[in-house]
């Protein structure tokens, strides 16, 4: 009876398809994670801590609120180092407390200076372009 020993070159050839498949799956997972939308901070305590802030009083049931959030998401990479974008969800205790403190209703977009001074509140619908213009005007960029 003749025994067969594994051929070392045959074993190394068999590992390449597995390795390539593993790398492909890993890269796909990394790409998918990078494409996930980033969430907004809900930490209103960041207001007045040295960075200008824009706070949206958000209600999922109001279309304008969602559109303004989309506009914020569209332009936030431009202002990342200079402006903190915050969502105060009206259906959470902290979001409701924030809205009550400043007497704001849902869809309010409120601008705060770096030292926490309330500069302006808008209720008009926002697009990426109008929001960018408002940020540049209010914060004097």
Q: Which is it for strands 118-122 and 83-89: parallel, antiparallel or unpaired? A: unpaired
**CATH code reported for the domain at 44-138:** 3.40.30.10
Contacts of 44 (CB under 8 A, 6+ apart): 55, 86, 88, 94, 95, 98
Q: Which residues are bridge partners to 87 per DSSP?
A: 56
Tokens of 128: 């990426």
Give residue 8's pLDDT.
56
Phi, psi of 128 (to 5 degrees): -60, -40
Domain parsing of the chain, residue ranges? 44-138
Q: What is the CA radius of gyration of the chain?
A: 25
- pLDDT by residue (tens digit) across 32-65? 777 655 678 888 899 999 999 999 999 988 888 8
Walk along the chain (141 residues) and give the pLDDT tens digit of each residue.
Answer: 555 555 555 556 688 888 889 999 999 888 877 765 567 888 889 999 999 999 999 998 888 888 998 899 889 889 888 999 999 999 999 999 999 999 999 999 999 999 999 999 998 888 989 999 999 999 988
pLDDT > 70: percent of the chain: 87
C-alpha span between 57 and 132 (Å, rounded)? 18
């Amino acid at each position: 009876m003749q025994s067969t020993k594994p051929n070392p070159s045959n074993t190394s050839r068999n590992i390449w398809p597995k390795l390539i498949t593993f790398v492909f799956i890993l890269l796909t997972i990394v790409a998918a994670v990078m494409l996930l939308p980033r969430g907004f901070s809900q930490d209103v305590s960041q207001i007045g801590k040295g960075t200008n802030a824009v706070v949206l009083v958000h209600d999922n049931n109001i279309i304008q609120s969602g559109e303004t959030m989309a506009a914020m998401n569209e332009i936030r990479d431009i202002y990342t180092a200079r402006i903190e974008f915050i969502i105060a969800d009206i259906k959470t205790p902290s979001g409701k407390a924030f809205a009550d403190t400043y007497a704001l209703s849902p869809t309010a977009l409120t601008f705060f200076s770096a030292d926490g001074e309330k500069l302006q509140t808008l209720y008009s619908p926002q697009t990426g372009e109008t929001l960018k213009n408002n940020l540049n005007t209010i914060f004097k960029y």
